[in-house]
Amino acid sequence: MIRCISCGAEYDDDEIIYTCECGSILEVVTEVDNIPKETFDNRRDNIWKYKEFLPVNAENRISLDEGGTPFCKCDKIGEELGIELFVKVEGSNPTGSFKDRGMSVGTTKAVDLGVNMVGCASTGNTSASLSAYAARAGLKCAVLLPAGKVALGKLAQAMFHGAKVFGVDGNFDDALETITELALNGELYLLNSINPYRLEGQKTIGMEVVHDLGWKSPDRIVLPVGNAGNISAIWKGITEFQDAGYIKDTPMMTGIQAVNSAPIANAVKAGTDEVTPVENPETIATAIRIGAPVSSVKAMRAIKESNGTADTVTDDEILDAQKYLARTEGIGVEPASAASIAGLRKLVENGEIDQGERVVCIVTGHVLKDPNVAIEACEEPTQVASDPNEIRKVLQTM
């Protein structure tokens, strides 16, 4: 069953619907019998480990073995900041971002519904993921991208896996509006995160975090926020595990946005629940260059219920954090993902995060997604003859 998060109206599972008649957004109601948590211990480490919590038939899944991503304790950064830090590396998913979790469940649902074409608007990763999963499912796929504003790796993936790729004149918010119109007209099945089945896949991030911590909640989860689906999904996963009695406490959900694309952080700072869209969002972290997040109501609820917060970081802080994580802990992430580390540093500095807190940062996409940003941040390779003496001279200066 699907339910409206505002008026509580209920809809059948086989109805193709993206928003409630009241205009608000929907969520899947998870109905799970009493399952001992040990059930999940000896299963293959992917999202389907928690199949009882997923609203599609796992037997028919469209899967690339997504989920079960690395959970790295980062003692060097942790000690520097005076906290206990874990980093969940979502770039290790099959197409290099957390979107694969959602697309696995989303395309499984699409096949179940009998549609033949799926589509999305995207800042890049959603399209890369959908294009791959649609290929695996044998579905036609159309993706709308803000022209000139999608990182090269993501564009290459969307094109290579065979989606029909459109570069639209406008930003992500414009592209989403356009593809939604096609979806509402029944011309394709929309797999942006307004589709509640997408978020069901992504909620497994929260489930894995508490499972990996030995059925304990961290004090806080910090993650980048764009369209606001992921923070909502992770909170849903966490609360479902709390309702099932697997964990007692819950983490403070902490969303980080780029300063000129920050409608949610602006609302949190202003102390209001009203999220005012940002007209012309801008940031080097193109993945989160979004001004009108569709899941803002869910995200604000997650932040409030969890006693969490949201904050902003500048592009310089993002780029600095991206390099810091790569060179201190060996974890390569794309700029949007580094927003979580940049935000973590800022919140520790201003005392919002207490010393000794156990914090999990979700890094959402792989460094190779945006090779241009990575290359521009570095020195060019030193050109030398293939001669040990020449190389030795340079090595001695290191």
Interacting residues with ligand F0G (CB under 6 A): 97, 99, 122-126, 193, 224-230, 287-288, 334, 336-337, 364-365
Considering the complex, state which of residue 1 and residue 147 has its C-beta at the smaller distance from ligand F0G: 147
- Rounded to 10 deg, the angle between the 125-137 and 99-113 helix axes is 40
3-state secondary structure of 136: helix
Pairing of strands 252-258, 309-313: parallel
Centre a 10 Å sphere on the Cβ of residue 313 and count the other Cβ atoms it contains.
28
* Dihedral pair phi/psi, residue 125, rounded to 5°: -70, -40
Residue closer to ligand F0G, measured from CB, 107 or 123: 123
Nearer Cβ to ligand F0G (244/299): 299
CB of 95 to ligand F0G, least distance (A): 11
CB of residue 332 vs ligand F0G: minimum separation in angstroms? 13
Q: Would you say 92 or 227 has its CB closer to ligand F0G?
A: 227
Task: Dump strand ranges (E) for the chain.
Answer: 2-4, 10-11, 26-28, 71-73, 84-89, 117-121, 140-146, 164-168, 189-190, 220-224, 252-258, 309-313, 358-363
Cβ distance to ligand F0G smaller for residue 104 or 125: 125
Q: What are phi and psi of 216, to 5 degrees?
A: -135, 145
Our CB check for ligand F0G shows the closer of 244 and 310 to be 310
* Residue carrying the six token digits 């109501």: 297
**Rounded CA separation 219/271 (Å):** 22
To the nearest whole angstrom, how small is the minimum distance from the Cβ of residue 61 to ligand F0G? Answer: 22
